[in-house]
Chains A and B, each alone.
Chain A
Amino acid sequence: MFLINCPFCGERDQSEFSSGGEAHIVRPKQPTELSDDEWAEYLFMRKNIKGIQFERWNHVHGCRKWFNVVRDTSNDKILSVYKMGEKPPVNYK
C-alpha cells in the first residue's frame, strides 16, 4: 500500500489506481507478419523485475487517465511519475 502522485490529480491512495503492468511494450506495427514467437513475446513474456520497473497505471477511481510510473518493486517506493508519450527518465535505466 502506497501513495501515487497522479500527474493530473496529485497524491492519492494506491487503491484508487489500477495497475497496467509493464510499460513501453510497443504494439506490433504489422501484426499479420508476426511469428508465433514474436506474438508470445508481445502478449505474454514479461520482465517482472525485482527492482526498478517502468510501468503503466490508470487513475481508475479518479481522472481515469493513464500515465507511467518508475517504481522499485522490492520496496514499493515510487521514484518517478511521467505522462504517456513522454520519454522515460534516463537516470533509472
Chain B
Amino acid sequence: MKNKYSVFSLIKNALSQHENWQQAWGNPEPKKEYEAIIVGGGGHGLATAYYLAKKHNLKNIAVLEKGWIGGGNTGRNTTIIRSNYLWDASAGLYDHALKLWENLSQELNYNVMFSQRGVMNLAHNLQDVRDLKRRTHANRLNGIDAVWLNTEEVKKFCPIINISPDIRYPVLGGTLQRRAGTARHDAVAWGYARGASEMGVDIIQNCEVKGIKRNGDRVEGLETTKGFIKTNKIGVVAAGHSSVIANMAGLKLPLESKPLQALVSEPVKPIIDTVVMSNAVHAYISQSDKGELVIGAGTDSYVSYTQRGSHNIVEETLKAILELYPIFSRMKMLRQWGGIVDICPDASPIISKTNIKGLYFNCGWGTGGFKATPGSGDLFAHTIANDEPHKLNAAFNLNRFVSGDLVDEHGAAAVAH
C-alpha cells in the first residue's frame, strides 16, 4: 500500500501539522466501459468492489454512488454487529461476516474500531425465554458463542438495568454473545473505499443511475447523470432504493422500503459498556466512544422514502428505554435521524442472480445490514465474479419466494436487528 497508515506515518504527519495526508481514495470521472459496475457506494457496495478486485482479480470496475459514500444507511445505523441467528443459513452468513470483522482493521490498514463488547438480548415474557433459549442452543450447534443469562446474571453484566419484577416488561433473562459488539460505521465505508481505490476501482460519487440498458435478457450498461456507461455486469446494492433500480430493468422485488430511526443523546461518561437489545419493546442501546448513548428504534409501518420517520416511534422506544434504564431519565437527546430500509417478507437478505443475465442484486437487509458488511461484500463479489452463488449465500436467492424455501428470521431471531 503506497500510503500505509502506521504509528510512523502518524508521527511524520504530526510534524507537518497533519496537512500533508494523501487523499484516501480517488475522485475519477467515469470511463466509457467497465467489466463490472456496483450501484451504491455504501459499506456493502464498497466491500463488494474491494473483494472483486482483491479476490477475483477484476480491476476495471466502478462503484456509482448518487450522493457521497457511506452517506446512506452505512452512516445511519446503530453499528451493532452479531451473528446469533437461529437458522443454519443465517448463522453461516452472519458468522462469516463476524469472522471477517475480527481481522478487518488489519486487512484494510484502517481502524474500523471493531469492539467486541458483547451483545445481550433481553427476554420479557415466557415465550421470549423459550425462543431465546432455543436460539442459544441453535447457535452453539452452529459453533457460534452464546450463553443464557438469568435475571441476576443480566443485572451483573449490565448493572444499570432495572430488573424489578413489577415493571410492564420485566427482565426474565437474556442471551449474550460475547464476540458481538460494535464498529465505527463511517470508517468501514472509508476503509473499503481506500482499499478498493488503491487496487484501481473507480469510486464515482454524485452519479445517479437513471436507467438500465437491456438487450433481450442481458444487460448492456447504465444510463447515469454522468452519461451512459457500458458494462456486462451490474451489481445493485442500493438498500432502500433497490426496488427503484429493479424497476428500471423491469423487475419487481419482494421488498418494502420503510423508515427506520435512531437517535443519540448528549455525550456522558462511560455508563454502559455493552450493547443491550430488547426485541419485545423495540429498544436497543449502546454507548459510542464519544460518550453518546446510541439508541435504535423500530420501523414505521408504511412505505416511505423520506429518511425521517414518525415521532410516535421514537416516543415508544424512549418509554421502553426509560423503564429499563431509569438512570437515563434526565438525559437529553441530541440528534435523531432516519434511514430507508428494504425489508423482505422473511426478514432475510437477497444476494442473488436474477433472470436478467449480468444483473445481480444484494438487497433486503432490512433493519440489520451493517453487521454483515464484510461478509455481504465477499459473497456478493463471489456471486458476480463466478455468476454462481457461494455456498454461504445460496439459500439467499431471489427464487426462494417462488420455491417457498424461505429463511424465516422474523420471530425466530431478534426482530430488531
**Which residues of A approach B to under 8 Å, CB–CB?**
1, 14-15, 18-19, 21-22, 36-37, 39-41, 43-50, 53, 55, 73-76
Contact = CB atoms under 8 A, between A and B. Distances in A.
Given A21-B303, A73-B303, A73-B305, A48 B402 contact: no
Given A1-B310, A14-B310, A36-B403, A47 B252 contact: yes
A15 B312 CA distance: 7
Interface of A is mostly: mixed
Given A1-B312, A21-B256, A36-B402, A48 B306 contact: no
Given A1-B308, A46-B243, A74-B306, 12 more contacts: A14-B302, A15-B312, A19-B302, A40-B402, A48-B253, A48-B303, A48-B342, A50-B305, A55-B302, A55-B303, A73-B304, A74-B305
A76 B304 CA distance: 7
Contacts of B257: 48, 50, 73
Contacts of B256: 21, 46, 48
Contacts of A50: 241, 243-244, 257, 305
Nearest to B301: A19
A44 B303 contact: no
Contacts of B254: 40, 44-46
Contacts of B244: 50
A75 to B, nearest CB: 6
B32 to A, nearest CB: 29
A75 B403 CA distance: 36
Contacts of B311: 1
10 contacts: A1-B308, A18-B301, A21-B256, A21-B303, A36-B404, A40-B254, A43-B345, A45-B253, A73-B305, A74-B306
Contacts of B255: 46, 48
B401 interface: yes
Contacts of A22: 303
Given A14-B310, A36-B403, A47 B243 contact: yes
Nearest to B244: A50
A45 B246 CA distance: 12
A36 B141 CA distance: 33
Contacts of A55: 302-303
A46 B243 CA distance: 9
A73 B401 CA distance: 25
Nearest to B242: A48
A14 B304 CA distance: 13
Contact of B252 (A15, A46, A53, A76): A46
Nearest to B343: A48
